[in-house]
Structures are given as C-alpha cells and as structure tokens.
C-alpha cells in the first residue's frame, strides 16, 4: 500500500498522545469485553518483548509489509526484518506515557476479537490468516473514514511502524539518509623537542 503519512502530524511522544487512538464506542466496548472475559492474553514469561503480546505481534506482522510496501524487507531477510521491526515497535510503545500505553492495550485487545474486528472494518479471520488485500482494505477504510478516531488510529499505527522500520540502519538507503556522521578523531601532531633551541639554552646557562 502506498500510504502517504501526513508529514504535518508530529512524530514525537507528545504527538502520539495527541492522536488519541481510542475514541469510538465500538473499540471501547471491545476492550471492556476483552478485559472482562479474559480475552486479553498476558505477556509470555521470559519474553523478549516488554509490551507486545502474541496477538499484538500477529496484528503488526500483518500490517508491517502492507504499510511499508516496497521498502520492506529491504536488504534484510523477511524474518530478520520483521523481528527487528517488532522489537523496535515494542521499545517505542514501552517508552510512551502510561495513559497512552493503556489506550494502545485497549485497542490491540479489541482488534484481537473477531466480532469487534468486523465492526471496525476488518475481516473476521485472525490477523495472521488475512491476505494483504484484506489488511490493505482495513487500513484504507480507517484512513478515509468519516470517523475522526479511525483516521487518527490509521496515522498513529502508520507512524509507529514507519519510525520503527526507518530506525533500522539497513533502511537508511531507501530514504537517502547516509547514516549518522562518523566521528573522525583529530590527528595530534608529533611534538619533537627542538635540540638546537635546547642547546642554546644550556650554553647560555653555562656562560
């Protein structure tokens, strides 16, 4: 999908707070049902992820190739690119403020439930079973929705994925970014003692 993310929107943590992922009654209801029924799966023990649960990773695994389109996986293998992007996503979300993390947890839990997914504009199938076209249709539906929170959600998800992917050094070439500047140490000139000067000083002292 050629998703053109609005560059005018902020990409800082403050910007994510302003986006307000949750706002529709459907998603709020879904998150409540997920919590009450125990559908929100806990984070696995000894997991390398600090925030993303299994169903969250399946959700983003479906979205990442569609959002990034031809930029993904770049020079990396598909599995390596996906793993690194998911870990970067996990780190990024984990550093957001607590209130924003709660909103994201509610959103992810709601979209993990098939009935809520359908009402939200996605397919009934699990995210890991969806075809790219189904995922693309879901994203386009949110992007072009008359409902502001859906449009905000589209931008937030796209920005999260974009920032996580383009923070990988292997993706720099696709953006024309040469990478961080290399610090070259300043050469230190060799200071050799001036023997003639020293000799003159010693002669003057002796006389």
Residues 6+ apart with CB under 8 A from 144: 151
CA–CA dist 138, 205 (Å, integer): 91
CA–CA dist 149, 119 (Å, integer): 14
pLDDT value at position 10? 42
Averages of pLDDT over runs of 10 residues in the chain (207 residues) are 42 46 44 48 75 95 95 91 96 91 88 90 94 96 90 91 89 63 65 55 54
Q: How far is CA 121 from the centre of its chain?
A: 23
pLDDT value at position 41? 58
pLDDT value at position 74? 86
pLDDT value at position 34? 47
pTM to 2 decimal places: 0.69
């Amino acid at each position: 999908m050629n998703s053109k993310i609005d560059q005018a929107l902020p990409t800082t943590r403050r910007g994510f707070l302003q986006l307000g992922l949750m706002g529709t009654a459907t998603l709020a209801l879904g998150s409540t049902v997920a919590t009450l029924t125990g559908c929100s799966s806990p984070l696995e023990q000894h997991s390398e992820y600090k925030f993303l649960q299994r169903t969250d990773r399946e959700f983003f695994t479906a979205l990442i190739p569609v959002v990034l389109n031809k930029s993904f996986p770049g020079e990396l293998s598909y599995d390596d690119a996906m793993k690194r992007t998911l870990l970067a996503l996990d780190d990024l979300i984990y550093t957001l403020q607590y209130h924003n993390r709660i909103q994201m947890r509610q959103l992810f839990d709601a979209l993990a439930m098939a009935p809520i997914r359908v009402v939200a504009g996605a397919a009934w199938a699990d995210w890991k079973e969806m075809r790219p076209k189904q995922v693309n249709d879901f994203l386009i539906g949110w992007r072009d929705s008359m409902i502001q929170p859906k449009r905000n959600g589209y931008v937030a998800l796209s920005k999260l994925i974009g920032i996580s992917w383009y923070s990988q050094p292997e993706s720099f070439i696709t953006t024309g970014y040469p990478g961080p500047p290399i610090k070259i140490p300043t050469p230190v000139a060799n200071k050799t003692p001036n023997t003639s000067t020293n000799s003159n000083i010693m002669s003057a002292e002796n006389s």
